[in-house]
Chain A
Amino acid sequence: MRKFLLTGLLLGSLICGDAFAQTDYPTLSQVTQRLQKLGSNASVELKTLTKTEGGKDIHVLKIGTGNKDQKPAIAVVGGVEGFHVLSVELALQFAEKLVAENSKVLESTTFYIFPNMSPDAYEQYHAALKYERRGNAVAVDHDRDGTPGDNGYSDINGDGLITWMRVEDPMGDWIVSKEDERVLVKADRSKGEAGKYRVFKESKDDDKDGKFAEDLKEGIAFNKSLTYKFPVFEPLAGDIAVSQKESRALLDYLFEQWNIFAFVTFSPANNLSAPLKYNAADARKRVVTSILEKDQAINAMVSEMYNKTVTPKAFQQTNQGTDGDFFQWAYFHFARLSFSTPGYWTPEFKGKTNAEANYLAWADSLGWNSFVPWTEVKHPDFPNQKVEVGGIKPFVMVNPPFEKVGEIAQQHTDFILKLAAMQPKLEFHNLKTEALGNGLTRITVDLYNNSPLPTHSEMGTRSRWMRKVRIDIDATADKLISGDKIKLMDSMGAYEKATFSWIIRGTGNVTIKAGASHTGFATQTVKL
């Protein structure tokens, strides 16, 4: 990894003048230092929500000015997958750019930034033995044999990386790809292809059950253990959804932040380069499994904006959510607008169709050393068979070389700021007061949502965890001849208006207030 990064740096154009410039993704202590530096800013509150089983802090930055809780807010979440180290850097850089260069937006929007939800797993990137880790530090019996974590990875070739091993075996169902001989693909039985290899993650059968790396020495994956389509009993998910300290702490916190109207999650799932698809039948079911129709239209609109803002052309972006993940939870179970992007993908290169072959062709063209050549090893579980270890190095397919991050972070910052500019915005218009005689005044006013977004997603109107738009008039009961003292509205559509009128007795001023935490409030004082 280090070598590959150095190579990248030499070839790359980014030679930064700053002596302290980061050359690789930060360690957890570097992340903490940057958070603390951010926390010293007047508009930033840095808080630790909990400590993970591994003793790592789960941080949140609440960034805003004035009455932060009464302005619409966007939550930005990184590290939902521990191996996706880019996501932590993107969340961090967004916070840094927000505070340093874009603080004006804080007048109207509040931001919650959760830079790293998987610090236990993230640490593996910097560990002596590097592998793409998802689980936290809790002991879990993934294969449910009565003993937790009794068959993790083994570094058979001693290179400090967990890659793959292939075992020559006529009963195997893998063969060498025609696009790249380094890459293995499944034999196509329908075309009568015979297999040549069995393929496993680099490991030994530690618990002698005939299976390899089936009971990893890592715990629960944050992004596989939330409530939407929770994959109960599956490895890395556990027995009960939201069972972990970090997931409970995050949700407990979010359920108290009534002003969040949208989430931007940096994770392998992607509903930004292309929106989620609407399926009428699944949307109608009691347990809803399709984005709702009106929300799909919002997703499409935001997606279009994303594609104008973020330049890399989408390629092989098929992950639109996985069971128990965070980005779908934020929509399906928390009813907020929810967007996710991996931030980075390998561009289409030389017409390759296989993702790994495509990646390798591209990496080769840039001179990146991102492949461990297949090399024969002695393997205790296959004493009489040829076993080779090799494959694409961990992390490189989802995390670009660090020098690429600056541009990605800038474009995604721009995207989030544009999303903030779209937030629901309630305004009063066309105020009219009419004297009816005998000390009575009729007040008529339009409430207008001056935004391309509705105040509530379609899902949001169903959720008790989003407040309704509330219109209050501060006239006392004896003065209020007609009209509602308190009126609640389930939602106001994009650029929608609603007209209200009251008849008030007496003189002086009355104040009308309308809104909800996640839409912000409009107020209008009326002189009688």
Chain B
Amino acid sequence: MKMMNTKNIIVALALGALSLGSLEVKAQQENFFRAIGTPHKPKVEIAWNRYYTAEGLWDWMRKIVAAHPNLAKVESIGKSVEGRDILTLTITDFSTGKDTDKPAMWIDGNIHSNEIQGGEFSLYVAWYLTEMHADNEFVKQLLKDKTFYITPTINPDARNNFFKEPNNANTPRSGMLVLDNDGDGQAGEDMMNDLDGDGHITMMIRKSPTGRFIKDPLDPRRLMQVGPDQVGEYEMLGQEGLDVDGDGEVNEDGIGYYDPNRDWGWNWQPDYIQRGALKYPFTLPENRAVMEFVMKHPNIAGAQSFHNSGGMILRGPGAEEDLNTYNREDIRIYDAIGKKGEEMIPGYRYLTVYKDLYSVFGGELDWFYGNRGIFTYTNELMVSYLYFHKEAGRGNQEEQLKVDELLTFGDAFVNWKEYKHPQFGTVEIGGFKKNFGRAHPGFLLEQDAHRNAAFTIYHAYHTPKLSVIDVKEEDLGGGLKAITATIFNERMMPTHASQDLKYKIERPDYVTISGAKVVAGFVVEDEDMKKFKEQKSSPEKMAVENIPGMGAVKVRWIVSSASNYSITVDSAKGGKASWKK
């Protein structure tokens, strides 16, 4: 040991021989010091102040897997419309059991292609868990108990289109299928046109003696309306573009239009009722891949979908018609987690889609909950509160102009510039860039990613955790013995949501005794009053319909012989537990 040089110390550190003393040594020698809550020396160094293309995200995912082979795996769960892989990370401590034997959390982002930061936020969860694992007891235990399935983008085609092709902050939103939007028999015959070639579809204005606007003399970026008794100078022409097909409309038939978040199979409704719906549930291969993965992973008990924007933690129902689907017991759990989220993510509000946002049939969160009984939130990432810690409201132009003046120094706005338009004559083109407003500016990304990641970790923590406690034996005489076992769930979520119980979505939990000769088996309804419900067939494998959150069920057997018996619990969403005498 006395021969150990600096290099050896660092090697030893890397191998995990941590002590406070050695930390100090390291810090002094490395000229940087650990910040609380952040992986200190991550094996994978990711810059959290920019956005990554689909390939960029996948590159990080593969690097995470390469750096943490015992904690992360990556697989393709399907293909997109354009044939890209939908890549999913599985994060768990594989040394403590198969991923499918543990309660799991599903996380995805970017279902709407322009809602880009879901990709980075999802990736952040994977990065944080894998990089913190060595140093943090909570994360260690979490990955022993739980699995995370993380799919940073479930819309890789149009994510890339958003970055690489001309768009505004709201496009494409759909994936890359091109449909006939105006009913003229042709699909995509009048897409957006990037007239000034800057990659952003902004606005067109034109000088006009009858115009009702002027440029604000104090801020020429801003068009302001003149008074009813005043003459203006400019008219608004709308979005940057051309009338390509000569039908008198500009940009009326572009990519899409459809909404991947109206394509899910719970109370699905067609397009005339729910705009954006496609032909039938899971028309889209991207969503179908997720659906099939979830169906094959009944251990998924919680789910999170990242959207933008507005600073919301949303739960279902998406439509008032589904009000009865969400029942009281489950809403209590939703509320407990959602309200905690409001504390964790300043500026975000916990809301219900149908009454606080707008009606959505066929949305992802309703499918996860209604069809699979999975507690699910959608977070609308980015809220203007993050700019100045004021409630200026969504899309407040005054505030946005101020942000670009004081915080981003003109980086967010394309200044008005003249352009000779073939149909409108001389126009001016300008306005906010596609990556401003809905997307976080770089300096706000990491903090908000961490807070949202913390929220999903809290959510995942409260998926069920089962254990067999308090196994009691009672001699009944005549060679018979009663064994009563208590199965405890020490987290908030039950093994079966009440929606699940109502429709028998998932199989019951099984509590099995082995090494005993079972005469009869019961679920204990009231131990003190000796109320037992007998299961006549296969009493050694008791079927329990649910193990409630922060609660327990008791199972009782009458056995004629039992010495070294063991008890196992097998729950689809609650994982496994065992006890041995």
State whether the Cβ of B229 lies closer than 8 Å to any Cβ in chain A.
Answer: no
Known A248-B280, A484-B248: A288·B273 in contact at CB below 8 Å: yes
- Nearest neighbor of A517 in chain B, beta-carbon distance: B185
Q: Which residues of A contact B537 (CB under 8 A)?
A: 208-209
- Beta-carbon contact of A464 and B183 below 8 Å: yes
Stretch at the interface among B86-94, B262-270, B519-527, B553-561: B262-270
Q: Which of B345-392 touch A at CB < 8 Å?
A: 359, 361, 371
* Chain A nearest Cβ from B71, distance in angstroms: 32
State whether the Cβ of A467 lies closer than 8 Å to any Cβ in chain B.
Answer: yes
- Beta-carbon contact of B281 and A463 below 8 Å: no
State whether the Cβ of B184 lies closer than 8 Å to any Cβ in chain A.
Answer: yes
- Beta-carbon contact of B371 and A467 below 8 Å: no
- Beta-carbon contact of A463 and B508 below 8 Å: no
- Beta-carbon contact of B271 and A464 below 8 Å: yes
- Beta-carbon contact of B280 and A227 below 8 Å: yes
- Beta-carbon contact of B184 and A470 below 8 Å: yes
Q: Which residues of A contact B270 (CB under 8 A)?
A: 227, 332-333, 463
* Chain B nearest Cβ from A215, distance in angstroms: 12
State whether the Cβ of B473 lies closer than 8 Å to any Cβ in chain A.
Answer: no
- Beta-carbon contact of B272 and A463 below 8 Å: yes
- Nearest neighbor of A462 in chain B, beta-carbon distance: B272
Known A227-B280, A241-B281: A144·B505 in contact at CB below 8 Å: yes
* Total contacting residues, chain B, CB less than 8 A: 35
Known A251-B280, A485-B247: A146·B271 in contact at CB below 8 Å: no
- Beta-carbon contact of B183 and A240 below 8 Å: no
Q: How far, in angstroms, from A375 to B320 measured CA to CA in the complex?
A: 53
Q: How far, in angstroms, from A248 to B270 measured CA to CA in the complex?
A: 15
Using an 8 Å CB-CB cutoff, how does the interface string of A439-461 with B read, 1 for contact, 0 for none?
Answer: 00000000000000000000100
Q: How far, in angstroms, from A496 to B504 measured CA to CA in the complex?
A: 54
State whether the Cβ of B45 lies closer than 8 Å to any Cβ in chain A.
Answer: no
* Chain A nearest Cβ from B243, distance in angstroms: 10
Q: Which of B168-222 touch A at CB < 8 Å?
A: 179-185
- Beta-carbon contact of A240 and B248 below 8 Å: no
Please tell me which one of the listed residues A144, A459, A516 contacts residue B504 in the complex, with CB atoms under 8 A apart.
A144
Q: How far, in angstroms, from A332 to B182 measured CA to CA in the complex?
A: 21
- Beta-carbon contact of B505 and A468 below 8 Å: no
State whether the Cβ of B328 lies closer than 8 Å to any Cβ in chain A.
Answer: no
* Chain B nearest Cβ from A182, distance in angstroms: 36
* Chain A nearest Cβ from B118, distance in angstroms: 24
State whether the Cβ of B282 lies closer than 8 Å to any Cβ in chain A.
Answer: yes
- Nearest neighbor of A239 in chain B, beta-carbon distance: B371
* Chain B nearest Cβ from A454, distance in angstroms: 16
- Beta-carbon contact of A488 and B271 below 8 Å: no
Q: Which residues of B contact A517 (CB under 8 A)?
A: 185
Q: How far, in angstroms, from A467 to B182 measured CA to CA in the complex?
A: 8
Q: Which of B310-330 touch A at CB < 8 Å?
A: 321
* Chain B nearest Cβ from A130, distance in angstroms: 31
State whether the Cβ of B7 lies closer than 8 Å to any Cβ in chain A.
Answer: no
Q: Which residues of B contact A486 (CB under 8 A)?
A: 184, 245-248
- Beta-carbon contact of B272 and A241 below 8 Å: no
- Nearest neighbor of A466 in chain B, beta-carbon distance: B183
- Beta-carbon contact of A240 and B281 below 8 Å: yes
State whether the Cβ of A255 lies closer than 8 Å to any Cβ in chain B.
Answer: yes
Q: How far, in angstroms, from A152 to B358 measured CA to CA in the complex?
A: 45
- Beta-carbon contact of A465 and B281 below 8 Å: no
Q: Which residues of A contact B184 (CB under 8 A)?
A: 467-468, 470, 486, 488
Known A233-B503, A463-B270, A464-B271: A241·B180 in contact at CB below 8 Å: no
Q: How far, in angstroms, from A255 to B180 measured CA to CA in the complex?
A: 12
State whether the Cβ of B291 lies closer than 8 Å to any Cβ in chain A.
Answer: yes
Please tell me which one of the listed residues B248, B281, B536 contacts residue A227 in the complex, with CB atoms under 8 A apart.
B281
* Chain A nearest Cβ from B355, distance in angstroms: 15
Q: How far, in angstroms, from A413 to B531 measured CA to CA in the complex?
A: 67
Known A477-B246, A484-B248, A516-B185: A252·B279 in contact at CB below 8 Å: yes
Q: Which residues of B contact A282 (CB under 8 A)?
A: none
- Beta-carbon contact of B272 and A464 below 8 Å: yes
Q: Which residues of A contact B248 (CB under 8 A)?
A: 484-486
* Chain A nearest Cβ from B504, distance in angstroms: 4
Known A146-B508, A516-B185: A485·B246 in contact at CB below 8 Å: yes
- Beta-carbon contact of A251 and B504 below 8 Å: no
* Chain B nearest Cβ from A307, distance in angstroms: 31
Using an 8 Å CB-CB cutoff, how does the interface string of A203-245 with B read, 1 for contact, 0 for none?
Answer: 0000011000000000000000011001011000001111100
* Chain B nearest Cβ from A526, distance in angstroms: 19
Please tell me which one of the listed residues A241, A251, A516 contacts residue B265 in the complex, with CB atoms under 8 A apart.
A241
Q: How far, in angstroms, from A247 to B282 measured CA to CA in the complex?
A: 13
- Beta-carbon contact of B279 and A255 below 8 Å: yes
- Nearest neighbor of B179 in chain A, beta-carbon distance: A464
State whether the Cβ of A189 lies closer than 8 Å to any Cβ in chain B.
Answer: no
Q: Which residues of B contact A77 (CB under 8 A)?
A: none
State whether the Cβ of A287 lies closer than 8 Å to any Cβ in chain B.
Answer: yes
- Nearest neighbor of A286 in chain B, beta-carbon distance: B273
Q: How far, in angstroms, from A487 to B217 measured CA to CA in the complex?
A: 42
Which residues of B are interface residues toward A (Cβ below 8 A)?
179-185, 245-248, 265-266, 268-273, 279-282, 291, 321, 359, 361, 371, 503-505, 507-508, 536-537
Which residues of A are interface residues toward B (Cβ below 8 A)?
144-146, 208-209, 226-227, 230, 232-233, 239-243, 247-248, 251-252, 255, 258, 286-288, 332-333, 335, 459, 462-468, 470, 477, 484-486, 488, 516-517
Report the 3 A-B pairs with minimum CB-CB distance, sorted nearest first: A242-B280, A146-B507, A462-B272
Apart from A144-B504, A248-B280, A467-B180, what 17 extra A-B contacts exist at CB < 8 Å?
A: A144-B505, A144-B507, A145-B507, A226-B280, A232-B503, A233-B503, A233-B504, A251-B280, A258-B185, A286-B321, A286-B359, A332-B270, A462-B272, A463-B272, A464-B181, A468-B182, A488-B184
What are 8 A-B contacts with C-beta separation under 8 Å?
Answer: A233-B505, A243-B265, A258-B185, A286-B273, A467-B183, A484-B248, A485-B248, A486-B184
